[in-house]
Amino acid sequence: MMTPDDPESQPPPMGDNEPSSPSWLIGEVAATPAHAPDAAVEKIDRRDFLARATSVAMGASLVAVYGAFAAMAGRFLYPARPALKGWLYVADVAGFKRGASLSYTAPDGATVAIARPGEAGKVEDFIALSSTCPHLGCKVHWEGQNQRFFCPCHNGAFDPSGRAIAGPPQEAGQSLGKYPLRIDGGLLYIEVPLEGLPGPGEA
């Protein structure tokens, strides 16, 4: 039988580095879920955060879908108007000799290379192609002796239809844009966008 003086019945002495709780109580303390409420709060916070994040993501998706639908509806209801075009004077046919070429600037600032390889006295004598190289934008010019349009920047070349036949534009399958021409009363006209021309009453 143990008495109060029996060393086995007394709690062990506490040292400097020992825990403040008596070692013989450690088992009991450890069994108590001291941080359980914090863990539960953390779990709820995480669930709440995930729920909010999901709501925000769904909201953003809906906004994107409705935005795309509104843009499509807008294009359907208000289609973009095609650029207004018109026929503008280029040159007197009699003064535009076979083999000659000129650079024409449209009202919208686009530059056009117009050449006359033919001599039949018809509009088919003339070619009008954009003079802006589709490769990197250098200026293309007509080479009468080679019957082609040439870009000096990287030796790009185009046939009279505008199709690339040499250089980087050919490798990329590019071509020069073609402009319609017509002859009326001995004068050569070109059809171009009229943007950039002053409107009625504008100086």
Q: Which of 168, 178, 194, 197 binds ligand FES (CB under 6 A)?
A: 168
Closest CB 109 distance from ligand FES, rounded Å: 18
Q: 92: Cβ–Cβ under 8 A, 6 or more apart, which residues?
A: 186, 187, 188
Q: Does 116 bind ligand FES (CB under 6 A)?
A: no
Q: Would you give the distance in Å from CA 156 to the centre of its chain?
A: 26
CA–CA separation, 159 vs 111, rounded Å? 18
Q: To the nearest whole angstrom, how small is the minimum distance from the Cβ of residue 164 to ligand FES?
A: 9
Neighbours of 195 (CB within 10 A): 13
Q: How many angstroms separate the CA atoms of 131 and 82, rounded?
A: 22
Measured in whole angstroms, how far is the alpha carbon of residue 106 from the centre of its chain? 27
**138 belongs to the binding site for ligand FES (CB under 6 A):** yes
Give the nearest residue (CB) to ligand FES.
Answer: 156
Query: Min. distance of Cβ 132 from ligand FES in angstroms?
Result: 9
Name the residue nearer to ligand FES (CB basis): 140 or 188.
Answer: 140
Q: Which is nearer to ligand FES, 160 or 168 (CB)?
A: 168
- Per-position DSSP letters for 44-77, written without gaps between them: HHHHHHHHHHHHHHHHHHHHHHHHHHHHHHHHHH
Contacts of ligand FES in 140-159 (CB under 6 A): 151, 153-154, 156
Query: Nearer to ligand FES by C-beta: 22 or 177?
Result: 177
Binding site for ligand FES (CB under 6 A): 133, 135-136, 138, 151, 153-154, 156, 167-169
